[in-house]
Structure 1
Amino acid sequence: TFDIKWRKLAARMRGLLTAGNPRPTISQGAYNIPIREVTRTKSMGGDFPSKPMTLYATIWDASDWATNGGKYRVNYKYAPYVAKFSDLVLHGCAVDPIEHVANCDTAQSSEAVPSGVTPVQRIKMDNFRKKHMTYSYCYDKIRYTKAPPSECVINPQEAERLRKFDPVTFGSGRHRHGKRHHHSKGNHAEAVSF
């Protein structure tokens, strides 16, 4: 989840699927700034991304759980929220949905397919995430009490920043009981989730 101060994020969402290299990745971003990269790991086995995939993004209200336990609510006076996709680049093969047979007659060479996020893009992605990310399921201790999903790569600094933002969701994973005191962190607008 990213704060809506970066409103144009959804207006120019860009996705890149790369599966023609030894370490296939999915990177998602806007304005040529990646916001997430998923790299195939051994723990994923053959499930991802070797099987047919799609890219799906939504804008939805995560106020109840992704904004410090519901502390910051969506302000619907800014509605309607419109998402437009442009410059979407997908590298892969069309797959027959019934027969699951790939049609790769015009598959691009692996040299034409980027192998992941460049060092410059990684710096931009890290800066974007530090400034705008308020939720990531990879760090959610309530949803994933034992371990995060296999596609998650845990960054200790990112985990600590999110834990400070929302100690309930990103801390011990246990709901705290009793009276809680919150200090205002200023106006927070609605969130955008991908």
Structure 2
Amino acid sequence: MASSVHSSHSNASVLIFLFVSAILGSLSKVVLAGNFYKNVEITWGDGRAQILDNGKLLNLSLDKASGSGFQSKNEFLYGKFDMKLKLVPGNSAGVVTAYYLRSQGSSWDEIDFEFLGNLSGEPYIVHTNVYSQGKGDREQQFYLWFDPTANFHTYSILWNPGHVVFYVDGKPIREFKNLEPFGVPYPKNQSVRIHSSIWNADDWATRGGLVKTDWIQAPFISSFKDLRTNACVWSNGVSSCSSNSTSDAWRLSQELDSTSQKRLKWVQRKFMVYNYCTDINRFPHGLPLECTVTTKS
């Protein structure tokens, strides 16, 4: 099967190119930045989520009773999404902070950053996943090369017709390509909102659930600032983008350039701690199709 997939790659690449070109002709940017009062709404937490500093800062808090969360007021279909986060310091075992894109419904699309808490002095794990039509199980996990609790760092998602790319401080850490011609579902038709939340996940988050949340350390607080979107707003089945505007980098970058590819390989070589595409024990009947295609391409 792998050889037949490989042999059809060139034809599939042409189909992807034509598909992407058609989509790009109808897109343009809508840039939103800065103020949480204008751009998001608190969705849960009974006051545990707070917007501060005239809308420039947002804190999410978790205690034993509840976590908290927010979502964007707008929905989007394709774009570049940047958020600066400063994660829970100290003993944050069992605590998960999330920043992700998600559509509605039972066959949802979702693009995830999840930050898995740790015991003091141990590194955070960044957990990433991509859902297409309600199917996920595409986890990759990474250590960070800095202390994410000491300062704010930028976490970005690029989502366009050609690929999804996860970035940390401008460095790509993961790429998920559009491989629809090979039968791999890709998130392309469902509009999403930006979501963030903090919650207790000590049944799995730290060392597979072996280390539980220490509630003496509560409240646990993660901070957010500088939410920036360069994206198409989707409303009532219509995109805010038009074909008259100039092209934007997030739309044109259907492939990582050579510098970005080198950075991606560096991060994956040095800091990746789990890759579903190499977990043969989890997939005894064969790795997922996108793993085979990306290996052969």
**Aligned-partner residue type, residue 118 of structure 1:** D
Provide the rounded CA distance (Å) in 2 between the counterparts of 1:94 and 1:121: 27
Alignment pair present for 1:105 and 2:105: no
Provide the rounded CA distance (Å) in 1 between the counterparts of 2:277 and 2:225: 25
Q: TM-score, normalised by structure 2?
A: 0.37
1:28 and 1:37 in contact (8 A); partners too: yes
Note the alpha carbon deviations across 1:74-112, whole angstroms, 9 max, x for none: 997999473646465554x3334xx64544337755564
**In 2 relative to 1, CA 57–100 (structure 1 residues): closer, same or farther, beyond 3 Å?**
same
Larger relative contact order, structure 1 or 2 (CA cutoff 8 Å, min sep 6): 1
- Counterpart residue number, 1:18: 160
Shift of 1:18: 1.9
**In 2 relative to 1, CA 5–32 (structure 1 residues): closer, same or farther, beyond 3 Å?**
closer
For 1:33, which of 161, 171, 175 is the aligned residue?
A: 171
Rg bigger for which structure? Answer: 2
Task: Name the count of aligned residue pairs.
Answer: 142
Provide the rounded CA distance (Å) in 2 between the counterparts of 1:90 and 1:147: 38
**In 2 relative to 1, CA 8–150 (structure 1 residues): closer, same or farther, beyond 3 Å?**
farther
Structure having the higher strand fraction is 2
| CA root-mean-square deviation | 4.0
Alignment pair present for 1:116 and 2:255: yes
Shift of 1:58: 7.8
Gaps of 5+ in 2: 1-140
2:191 and 2:234 in contact (8 A); partners too: no
**In 2 relative to 1, CA 4–124 (structure 1 residues): closer, same or farther, beyond 3 Å?**
closer
Aligned with 1:144: secondary structure? coil
Identity %: 18
Provide the rounded CA distance (Å) in 2 between the counterparts of 1:102 and 1:26: 20
Aligned with 1:94: secondary structure? strand
Alignment pair present for 1:63 and 2:207: yes
1:16 and 1:89 in contact (8 A); partners too: no
Aligned with 1:50: secondary structure? coil
Aligned with 1:145: secondary structure? coil
- Residues 1-194 of structure 1: pairs in structure 2 closer than 5 A: 1-8=141-148, 11-19=153-161, 24-41=162-179, 42-44=181-183, 47-52=185-190, 54=192, 61=205, 63-64=207-208, 80=220, 82=222, 84=224, 86=226, 88-91=228-231, 93-96=232-235, 100-105=237-242, 112=249, 113=251, 114-152=253-291, 155=295
